[in-house]
Amino acid sequence: MHITPLAGALGAQVNGVSLSALDDAGWRTLHRAFLDYQVLAIRGQQLEPADLMQVGGRFGEPCPYPFVTGIKGFPHIFEVVKEESETTNFGGSWHSDTTYLAKPPTATLLYALETPAYGGDTLFANMYAAYEALSEGMRAMLAGLVGVNSAALKYGGGRATMHSQIAGMKVHDTEQAEAYEAEHPIVRTHPDTGRKALYLSRSHTVRFRGMTEAESRPLVEFLQAHQTKPEFTCRVRWEPGTLTVWDNRCTQHSAVNDYHGQRRRMRRLTVGPQVPR
């Protein structure tokens, strides 16, 4: 197994390993790298849906996703598809996955089936580094704040509108998005590393508990701009057979929408439901 950093802030590329044949010692090495690097791009895999479920099980139990139908026989895996004719992509804004659930996932697994000849990368940001770069006064203020997170995508035009532009995916129940709301601390402590990380996004955090949206918005906007500065990020370039696994407890990600006219098809699984603390 060869583990090579992708950037100074976070992320590593993994080569020379077959996940379907990895022994327990290998999994311990991989999990240590997952905690150290937060994002792992594991190259050269051949994974059927059952294999993806098995790999995901190493990181936790599967999590539901409310708005897209899973593939046949595997309800927790769904395909992320952008067709050649489409101009809107899925996941094209900075966020941590499903923070509007009471128990968001520990990890997301995204497996590449078809990738464009160029473009279609995914950006990741280190929420530990973003938190640690804040002033002492800002960290003290954030310590008591709780974010109200919604699935409605209010500041992106609304989930129903966004998903209606993604014809290649089996979306459903988007009109129920406002029913999905959860409160989580703005600063969460990682249960495995003990480090503190920012845990909010412009996509999902609509306000702070006890404050109005108008009062909350300037601070949400400031923190979103801060936590995705280039020095906190890495970039994953996709090719068929790449499985990327990332830690939602201490990262954000954004799918770059720069490949109009080309098809991109992935399989996605989230695992490890966990209450943020």
Query: Of these residues, 58, 76, 97, 184, which one is catalytic?
Result: 97
Confidence grade of residue 178 (pLDDT, cut at 50, 70, 90): confident
Residue 267 main-chain phi, psi, to 5 deg: -120, 135
- The CATH label, of 2.30.110.10, 3.60.130.10, 3.40.190.10, 1.10.760.10, for the domain at 2-273 is 3.60.130.10
Query: Of these residues, 58, 76, 95, 202, which one is catalytic?
Result: 95
SS3 168: coil
In whole angstroms, give the CA distance from residue 151 to residue 118: 31
In whole angstroms, give the CA distance from residue 139 to residue 189: 13
Residue with token string 């929420």: 127
Instruction: Tell me the sheet residues that pair with 178.
Output: none
* pTM higher than the cut 0.85: yes
The mean per-residue pLDDT over the stretch 182-191 comes to 98
> Is 60 exceeded by the pLDDT of residue 228?
yes
Q: Tens digits of per-residue pLDDT, 214-224?
A: 999 999 999 99
Domain residue spans of the chain = 2-273
The mean per-residue pLDDT over the stretch 104-108 comes to 98
End-to-end CA distance of the chain: 33
Task: Give CA separation, 242 vs 14, 44, 45, 114, in Å.
Answer: 10, 6, 6, 10
Q: Among this protein's residues, is 97 annotated catalytic?
A: yes
pLDDT reported for residue 171: 73
Q: Among this protein's residues, is 36 annotated catalytic?
A: no
Q: Where are the alpha helices (DSSP H) in the chain?
A: 24-37, 49-57, 127-132, 136-142, 159-164, 213-227
Query: Of these residues, 76, 163, 184, 253, which one is catalytic?
Result: 253
Confidence grade of residue 203 (pLDDT, cut at 50, 70, 90): very high
> Is 70 exceeded by the pLDDT of residue 105?
yes
> Is 70 exceeded by the pLDDT of residue 158?
no
Q: Among this protein's residues, is 95 annotated catalytic?
A: yes
Confidence grade of residue 36 (pLDDT, cut at 50, 70, 90): very high
Q: Which of 130, 122, 133 is nearest to 39 (CA)?
A: 122
